[in-house]
Each structure stands twice: as C-alpha cells, then as structure tokens.
Structure 1
C-alpha cells in the first residue's frame, strides 16, 4: 500500500512538472546545445511607388549578394505598396520588415485635418504650425485617444500584409529635447538645459490627465525638467503606444521591432524614450557615432549599455550604423564592436548609401562568422 502511495506521489510530481513547463519560453543560455542564430545584417530603404518591379528586384539581389539578410521598407504606411514589394524581396532571400514613422507623421493627409492631435511645447506652440528643428517634425500626442488610435490603425494595416516579418516603429518618441551634440552647430543651438520650445507635450489633454493623477500642473512648475512624475508620465505614454502595437502585431502573427536612440538612459534623456521598459521583440538602436562626435569604439560602448539593460528581457538588440562618409576601416571596426559587445546583428542606414567598398567590408565580415 505504501509503495502504491509513493508511486502515485512521484507520478503527480512528474505531471505537475511537465504542466509547469508547457509554453514556457527557454531562457537565454538554457539550452546550450541549441545552435546560435547567425549574426544578422539589415538595411533601411524608402520605397518609391513609381519605380518598377525590375528595379526593386535588382536592388534586392544586390543586397542579398553582398551579405544582407533583411530589409526594412518605408512605404509611407501604404500596405498595398508593401504587399507588392514584400514578395519580391522575399523571393530574393531577404526578410522583410514594415518600417513606419509612428508618432512623427509628416505628409499624413488625415493627420493634417486634426490640428488638435499635435504635440504642444512648454512655450505653448503646437507642432502643427511651429515645427521644432525641421519642417517634417509633425509629432502627434501619444496621450490623445484619437491620435494614438490613428497610429495603431496604421500598425494594424501593415501587420496584415503577407511576407512581412515585423512592423518596425520609427520616431516612436517625442521631439528631441536635446539634439545629438554633433548636430547642434548645424542649427546654431546651445542646449545646456531643457528649452521650452523643445519640451513637449503640454497640450490640454496631457495637462488635465497628469493633474488629475498627481494634483499639480506642469505649466505652473518653476522647473518641470526636475519633476520626475511629469517625466515618467510622458515616458509611459510612449511605452503604452508600443505595448498596444505589440499586441496588434502579435495578433497578426508578426513581431514588433523599433529604431531607437543609442541606449535607454540616453534615449530617456534626449527624446523621452525608455525602450528597455517596452514590450518589444527587437530594437535597432541608431548608434550613429558621427552624430555624437564619437569614434567607432563608442559603437561598442552604446551597444553594451543596451544589451546590459535588456538582460533577461527576451528582446534582441541589433546595432544601427550610419554609413555615409564612413571609411571601410571604420565600418569594419563598427561591425566588430557591435558583435563583440553582444549585438545580434547590425543594420545599415541606408541601403542606397552603401558603397561598393562598404559592401566588400560587409561580405568579408560575414565570412568571419
């Protein structure tokens, strides 16, 4: 009788152990025998609906022949154009990702009909008619339900296109509170503090919602830059858009990826973007060293910062590299720095800018895997 009880108890333990492991994702390093995925090479491109299929096929063939694995295509959120190009790229052996300018919607005819959707600066100016820095900065408020839902509807449309692996969010942030230091001379700016004309969003909806929750008004603060709740409120609004987009993408059997600022603490400081707190499958931080007056060793530093912040979160990091003007030697160093500091791949901005000499570097580095 005791033997039967012992056997029954052991069986129960085994059954519960098996049930506990159903649908559980393996942790990093859990299965050491599993073959590690090869280092991945991506590039961003912007589509032109006037181009014929033959020219795109030629471009995709060139990318594949030179070692690229994936292409992020900006079709200005046109699912029809994406549906036309995705199978062409896939046939040439490239993985396809639907690149969308998310909170920044330049040229969006629907958005232009809704001035109230735009972010408002601490100075009281709307991005509808007072664009910060450049004319194409048409950022939307992530708090307003209508503007947020417009972006999510665009995500939904792209996520339903066949032959697409992910929806790729770009400009998933506020306008730059601080520009990269290397760009300041171009705009004749000094940014030693958060300037009112570059600090967003102070629209009525944001202020009312924040005031209801925290019982204080950012418009009345002497120095809102040091109010942690006000900063966190805006970080959370961007995070919420991402998390909703994640649910939409996964519902349509796609993953969610994003182009982000170099590493989470820096992104937080510069554009209200804390991407290590998001529900997202992969990030492509734009570690454009030339924008920050840094050498290629900084590519490794920023990559490691992001990899460390994402530890055990299940989000992959693929380093974004800015190729214009980069020597073949610097490009080789940048790829090497990304790989040795834990990136799962590298993405090059942008495809048409990659020179023949740079393609040779990419091919050679791929052969080193």
Structure 2
C-alpha cells in the first residue's frame, strides 16, 4: 500500500460547519446562457463556412440535400450550446480541465505512450466497460455505435458537398470519388468495392436495426428499465434510429425491386426522421455521444495516477479508494460547490456507511433512552 499524495495527506478535514475553502463567485445563469449562445453561433458559422469552402463555393453542393445540411447547422449550434452549459457546472468544468491537461501532457506521454490509443480503442471504440454489465447489451451497443459511426462518416460529408461521386466515362460503370474536388480513387460500380461504396448506408442500417431493437425490447420487458424510463428520453431515440434505418433500406428496396415505386414518399419520410433526430441529439439522450470523448481524458488522468502508484488509502480502513490526484480533485469540486463535508471523499464507501451509522447511534438513538 502506498502513501497518499503529499498534497492530500497535508489537507486537514475542515471543522464541522466550516467551509474548507472560499468558494468561487457563482456564475449566473444569464452569463452561462450568453456564453453558450455565443459558442453555438460561432460553431454554426464555422460549419456554414466549411460547407461553402468544402463544396467549392457550393458548386458541389446538392440542393436536394439542403434540409439535411440545415439540420446539421442546428445540430452544431445545439451541441456547442449544451456543451458550454455542461462544462460551466463546477464539477464538469474541473473534470474537463483535468482531462484535457492529462490528454496534452508530455510527461504522461513519456510515462505511458500507449495509454491514450488503448483508452480510445477500449473506452470509446469497443466500450469494454459495458461488457461488465451484460454481454448482450455490449453487443447491441456495438452494433448501434459502429452503424451510427459509418452512417455519419458517409452522410455528413455528402450532405455538406465535401464528397462527390462522378462518372469517369459518362455512362459508367467507372466512378471517381472526390473530396473537396480532389480525386481520391476510381472504382467500378459493378465490383465489390463499388457495391460497398453505394450501399454503405444500407450496411449501417443493418447494423443499427438489431441493436436498437434489442434495447427497445429490453425497455418493454425489463422491470428495472421500465421503472425509470421516460418515453421522450429513452424510447424516442431508439424508435428514431429504427425509423431512419428501415426507411433507408426501403429506399434501396424501392429503387431495386419496385422500379422507384413509392420512392418519393419514402424519401420525405426518411428525410423528416433524419432531420428530427439531428435536431434532437443535443437535447436528448444522444448527447452522451458528444460527452463520451471527454471522459477519455478523465480516464487517462486516473490511469497515470495509478501508473505512478499514487493510490489514496481510506483514512479509516486503509483500503485503496482511488488515485490521490482524483480524490483531491473530488474534494476541490465539493469545495467549489460550497459543500462543507469534502473530507468525506477520503473515506471508502463502506467506512462512510459505518461512520454514518455510528453518528446516528451516538446523536439520535441516545435521545430515546
């Protein structure tokens, strides 16, 4: 067992009822809203500029995809707005700063050069932490995750006019894929590569449908999920993913087997579902997609603390709680929130329960004697 970090060991618990530090001046909701609105406007303006420049002054922009492009601008505004509000909270702001500091620390890179790639792969890509809950939930989440990633990588650049596919011969089957007007590769639309190019969104839909359907089924059957779920927050995202995927597959089915029958109606239905989902992302459950990358820095912060054996021991039982820097960071967050019991962060959960029980017996039960 290693000793606690010097800064943590030197910190003495505050006297009862006395704040451990002077809290910072509170940030008013109006100033937070102003900053969030400004961030949203700036990010939206930058995206519009990127669309104009990336599509070569709109020469490669497909006007039929205008509703999708407008929805992505609203998405950019909403994400920037809510992200700014999120990191304005004392706890999130402190963790956010610590995460980025660890992410760009050359010292951390020298001590653990492979830590960041491994955490990106395991925490963001394969999300191994979900496997501890349930292998089925992990598999379903992987299907949704990779399906959505594939769809985003195809849809957004096409919507913005950054990707274009042009016939190299005028009549096919040769095609060229260009990014920002520059030719990247040529391919035959009749071979395997061409089929994958033109059916990437169908593949994404096939991945998303079983994953979203599993979670929808679970929320209909699992008592634990039913108890706390909300329709708009928990069910609407899953329904939206299924509707987008099914209507996308039906568009392909219509063009291949029905000679375009019902294509216009399906295209409008698909567009409405996609636009609704893009606008919904910043203000619903999908926002955790945007939050998740920020957690990588925090995991790196904790990992480097363990790498240096900066493990903080419980003040009572001396069992390890977490890394010393993480415990001190938690205490700092509690001080920022003007909570006068930040010394409790130095005890493990079991000892906290024991101390609370002892306090109850000492100060409450004796009143019944």
TM-score for both structures, normalised by structure 2: 0.20
Structure with the bigger percentage of helix: 2
Which entry has the higher C-alpha Rg, 1 or 2? 2
Structure having the larger proportion of residues in strand: 1
For normalisation by structure 1, the TM-score amounts to 0.20
